[in-house]
Structure 1
Amino acid sequence: MQQHVVFGAGLIGRYLGAVMANQGVDVRLVCRPAIALWLSDGVKLTDYQQHSCEVERLNVIESDTAGDSSATPSHADVLWLTVKCTGVEAAASAMAPFVGPDTTIICCQNGLGSDHIIKQHYPDNRVLRGMVPFNVVEMSRGHLHRGSQGTFTIEIRENADSDIVALSQTINCGLLPCAVTTKMTELLWAKLQLNLGNSINALADIPVKAMLEQRGYRKVIAAMMKELLMVTKAQGITLPKVGSLPGWLIPHVLRLPDALFQRVANKMLAIDPNVRTSMWWDIHQGRQTEIQYLNGAVVEAGSKLSLPCPVNTAIIDLIKQQEASRKAWSADELLAHIS
């Protein structure tokens, strides 16, 4: 049986590892001692579609013993890197004890470009990308809840990686819908379009569902998305459909009046009222955000094409201010700021 290691057992990493264990995969989670203690009593998994399971025991490796050969397992067949973009550089060195010559590394970060760091550190390994489209919240100690829709997708290469196809079929279940794609770059740009709203959630300082119910916030997100669509069109990238609507249509729907939006986009609002984005959590926990890998990726790509992206640029500046001093921005304030 293949041995899997989840490196970076935050909310997504713990959820992924627990689902894999429940599906009979031999998996170990590398995590901080405090998280290891929490996981000692097992994990309960639920989601917004009423799926649930309980995993009585998870195999964990405390991160401060990862370099100890007596505590470290043999090289992983598959290593799932689930740290945030901002932690990839440090993780690239720290995960070395688990990486052998035949280890496949699957990078599960938001945004664009962080996998290049791993490829530089491990040029001879197979490095693939994973796309996580949903939110996970911790409802209580040991209870992880998937609060929004989306299919976890793993990259495969043309006419190759049959083992990854089989792996995706093994872990595919109600709690973790899973698929593969040969067009991960296009998929990540489509996911990035949806992730642009993470910054607005962090600035609004309210749950995602409440944010989407206010037209002003939606208009700011639509303006950022318009810039992304301009950039991807110039690059010749056709965005696949990630959610219930095609990417080109989403900005138009977001700008609809509230009553009409709720009727037309009810699937967009099929989200647990507790969900907040990872950027909101980063701000509130005093951590550096992934803004440069999200909105920053749009601005950088636009700059290379001589296409200015002033709305995304303005929001990046606000998030950097938010990292230093938190402020809840109303929809009207944000609209005035980008005008």
Structure 2
Amino acid sequence: MHFIVLGAGAIGCYVGGRLAAHGQAVTLVGRAHALQPIAAHGLRVTDLDGFDHTVPAGAPALRLAATLAEAAPGADSIVLLCVKSGATESAARELAAACAPGTPVISLQNGVDNVARIQALAPGLNVLAGMVPYNVVLRGAHVHRATAGHLQLQRDAATERIAPVFAAAGLATVLPPDIRAVQWGKLLLNLNNPVNALSNLPLRQELLDRNCRRVFAALQSEALGVMARAGITPAKVTAVSPTLLPAVLRLPNWLFTRLAKRMLQIDATARSSMWDDLEAGRVTEIDALCGAVVRLAAQQGMAAPLNARMCELLGGPRLRLGGAEMRRMLGV
């Protein structure tokens, strides 16, 4: 198998790096500024469980390419799509132009509608959904998984072949019966991304701020109400049921820290990818997260004012807000 990672960011470099460290053929496709440190120093891959391996620059298992066409996808290629949701349409056009019909394309992106957007522009490809549960930090040529979890991939003949390869490379993978429910379950967790980005705090520190958690809980509660109206039952993707998680988040710190120990097993420096985007002046994925809740609400004849407000806050000038100030601005 030849794995082509389209979008050599944090997730792409971690998944691709683990595969290359195991000897699988991997090509990372990305921009020059992202690939230059790897070309110079190799790719160091670490995780919170102690894994630490550097794939040397020039190693046969790891190639770097500026475009998908340069990566030369062939009959044995599997594309792992790891671009941000805002780049989905441009990536889909690139996929349609460079890949043969039937090529498996696995979306490892945040959000719930990327597969449909890709299929609309690249109808001949075998586009499949995936869910990445963990936080990954990329700094130059070092990528680090900062939280735990299992990759979840849409069940298909292609993913049934891929899952054992992923597992052998240290990427624990499951094929759930309903990937759509998993995506909505993950979206509920991703509603913390804008809270974390606005707080300007590391994830663990932000989750220990009860005011921040109450904003996160309010966004989740609103989203759960919209999903219920739409007949969507989100999958359980953490130790706590999606319907119970808002109540757990609202608990006082002394009790939250006891009941949510697994949630707090995060590297002290880890932050959300949305924080990274804001710091770098890039467009965030707020439209794929809170925006998806707002759009689903509109389809059901409802409003989702809290998620809509988050879209406004993340769409304007860079803000840094404490948890109490966020609560005041959202009225929760």
Q: TM-score if structure 1 supplies the norm length?
A: 0.91
Cα distance in 2 between the residues matched to 1:295 and 1:162? 33
Once the two structures are superposed, residues 258-285 of structure 1 have per-residue CA deviations (whole angstroms, 9 ceiling, x without a partner) of 1111111111111111111111111111
What secondary structure does 1:172 align onto? Answer: helix
Cα distance in 2 between the residues matched to 1:72 and 1:36? 17
- 5 Å matches for 1:1-339? 2-40=1-39, 41-56=41-56, 57=59, 58-63=61-66, 66-67=68-69, 72=72, 74=74, 77-96=77-96, 98-138=98-138, 140-156=139-155, 161-172=156-167, 175-321=170-316, 325-339=317-331
Cα distance in 1 between the residues matched to 2:19 and 2:98? 18
Once the two structures are superposed, residues 106-161 of structure 1 have per-residue CA deviations (whole angstroms, 9 ceiling, x without a partner) of 111101212222101221221101111111113x54221100122111111xxxx3
What secondary structure does 2:28 align onto? Answer: strand
Question: Does the aligned pair in 2 maintain the 1:224–1:312 contact within 8 Å?
Answer: yes
Provide closer, same or farther for how the CA distance between residues 263 and 301 of structure 1 changes in structure 2, counting only shifts above 3 A. same
How far did residue 253 of structure 1 move?
Answer: 0.5
How far did residue 97 of structure 1 move?
Answer: 5.1
Letter in 2 for 1:62: A
Percent of pairs identical after alignment? 34
Cα distance in 2 between the residues matched to 1:174 and 1:49? 14
Question: Does the aligned pair in 2 maintain the 1:169–1:179 contact within 8 Å?
Answer: no
Cα distance in 2 between the residues matched to 1:100 and 1:217? 47
Question: Does the aligned pair in 1 maintain the 2:217–2:250 contact within 8 Å?
Answer: yes
Cα distance in 1 between the residues matched to 2:271 and 2:170? 19
How far did residue 164 of structure 1 move?
Answer: 1.5
Once the two structures are superposed, residues 224-276 of structure 1 have per-residue CA deviations (whole angstroms, 9 ceiling, x without a partner) of 10011112222222222101111111100000011111111111111111111
Question: Does the aligned pair in 2 maintain the 1:74–1:98 contact within 8 Å?
Answer: no
Cα distance in 2 between the residues matched to 1:222 and 1:207? 18
Runs of 4+ deviating beyond 3 Å? 71-76, 95-98
Cα distance in 2 between the residues matched to 1:190 and 1:330? 26
What secondary structure does 1:117 align onto? Answer: helix
What secondary structure does 2:175 align onto? Answer: strand
Letter in 2 for 1:331: G
Cα distance in 2 between the residues matched to 1:89 and 1:276? 27
Letter in 2 for 1:334: M
- State the number of aligned residues: 327
How far did residue 337 of structure 1 move?
Answer: 1.1
How far did residue 7 of structure 1 move?
Answer: 0.8
Letter in 1 for 2:238: G
How far did residue 297 of structure 1 move?
Answer: 0.6
Provide closer, same or farther for how the CA distance between residues 124 and 95 of structure 1 changes in structure 2, counting only shifts above 3 A. closer
Gaps of 5+ in 1: none
Cα distance in 2 between the residues matched to 1:94 and 1:272? 36
Cα distance in 1 between the residues matched to 2:168 and 2:240? 23
Cα distance in 2 between the residues matched to 1:211 and 1:94? 38
How far did residue 173 of structure 1 move?
Answer: 5.0
The CA RMSD over aligned residues, in Å, is 1.8
Gaps of 5+ in 2: none
Provide closer, same or farther for how the CA distance between residues 316 and 47 of structure 1 changes in structure 2, counting only shifts above 3 A. same
Cα distance in 2 between the residues matched to 1:31 and 1:277? 21
How far did residue 93 of structure 1 move?
Answer: 2.1
How far did residue 37 of structure 1 move?
Answer: 2.7
Letter in 2 for 1:305: Q
What secondary structure does 2:251 align onto? Answer: coil
Question: Does the aligned pair in 2 maintain the 1:81–1:108 contact within 8 Å?
Answer: yes
Question: Does the aligned pair in 1 maintain the 2:290–2:311 contact within 8 Å?
Answer: yes
Provide closer, same or farther for how the CA distance between residues 196 and 128 of structure 1 changes in structure 2, counting only shifts above 3 A. same
